[in-house]
Structure 1
Amino acid sequence: MKRSIFLTICSLFISLFSFGQTSTEQFETESHGSPSFTDNGVIFNVISHVGTFDIQANYPGTGWNGTSVDNRYIDNSNDAASPPSFSIKTTSNLFKVNRFWMYLSALNLDLSVSGTLTITGKLSGITKFTQTKTTGFTTSLGSTNGYTLIDMTNLNGQNYSNIIIDELRITLGGNFRYAGLDAFTWVKDTGIVLATNEAAASQKGMRIYPNPTSGPFSITTENNVQAKIYSQDGKLLKNLEMKKGANQTDISELPNGVYILKTSSGSSKIIKK
Structure 2
Amino acid sequence: MRKTTLLFIWSLMISSFASAQTSTEQFETESVGSTNFTDNGVIFNTLSTVATYKVNVIQAGGWNGIAADNRFIDNTGTATSQNANSSLAIKTTSNLFKVNRFWAYLGDANGNLGSAGTVTITGRLSGVTKFTQTKTTGFTASTGSTNGYTLIDMTNLNGQNYSNIVIDELRITIGGNFRYMKLDAFTWVKDSSIVLAANDVKTFKKETRIYPNPTSGPITINTIENTRFEIYSHAGELVKTFNAVKGASQADISDLPKGIYILKSASEAHKIIKE
Question: For this structure pair, what is the TM-score category when the shorter chain's length is used for normalisation?
Answer: 0.7 to 0.9
Q: Corresponding residue for 2:67? A: 68
Query: Aligned match of 1:127 in 117, 120, 129?
Result: 129
Select 1:183's aligned residue among 185, 194, 217: 185
Aligned to 1:161: 163
* Equivalence for 2:269: 271
TM superposition shift of 1:212:
2.3
Q: Partners of 1:219 and 1:93 in 2: how far apart?
A: 24
* Counterpart residue type for residue 240 of structure 2: K
Distance in structure 2 (CA, Å) of the matches to 1:65 and 1:74: 12
Match for 1:271: what amino acid?
A: A
Corresponding residue of 1:6: none
Q: State how many pairs are aligned.
A: 255
Preserved contact between residue 50 and residue 85 of structure 2 (Cα < 8 Å): yes
Cα separation, 2, equivalents of 1:55 and 1:150:
19
Structure that is richer in helix per residue: 2
**Higher RCO structure (Cα 8 Å, ≥6 apart):** 1
Give me the whole-angstrom Cα distance separating, in 1, the residues matched to 2:234 and 2:163.
Answer: 19
Deviation at 1:133, TM superposition (A): 0.9
| Separation (CA, whole Å) in 2 of partners of 1:204 and 1:211 | 21
TM-score, reference length from structure 2: 0.86
> Hey, what does 1:37 align to over in structure 2?
37
Q: Matches of 2:6 and 2:204 in 1, distance apart?
A: 8
Shift of 1:215: 2.1
Letter in 1 for 2:268: I
In the alignment, the residues of structure 1 paired with residue 33 and residue 175 of structure 2 have an alpha-carbon distance, to the nearest angstrom, of: 24
Question: Where is the strand percentage greater, Structure 1 or Structure 2?
Answer: 1
- Which of 217, 220, 228 is the matching residue for 1:215? 217
> How far, CA to CA, are the matches of 1:52 and 1:77 in structure 2?
8
**Shift in Å, 1:150:** 0.6
Question: For 1:225-269, what per-residue CA distance to the aligned partner results, in whole angstroms no more than 9, with x for missing partners?
Answer: 1001011111111111111112222212222211011112xxxx2
Structure 2 partner of 1:5: none
- Verify the 8 A CA contact 1:229 1:262 in the aligned structure 2: yes
Q: CA-atom RMSD, angstroms?
A: 2.1
State the 1:203 CA deviation.
Answer: 4.7
Deviations 1:137-187 (A, max 9, x none): 111111111101011111111111111111111101100101000000111
Q: Structure 2 unaligned segments of length 5 or more: list them.
A: none
Q: Residues 51 and 86 of structure 2 are in contact (CA less than 8 Å); yes or no, is this contact kept in structure 1?
A: yes
Map Cα deviations across residues 26-70 of structure 1 (whole Å, 9 max, x no partner). 01111211111111111111111220100111x211111101111
Map Cα deviations across residues 61-116 of structure 1 (whole Å, 9 max, x no partner): 11111011111100001312221111111121111111100001111222211111
Secondary structure of 2:151 counterpart: strand
Task: Give 3-state SS (helix, strand or coil) of 2:249's partner.
Answer: strand
Cα deviation for residue 195 of structure 1 reads 4.6
**Unaligned segments of structure 1, at least 5 residues:** 1-8
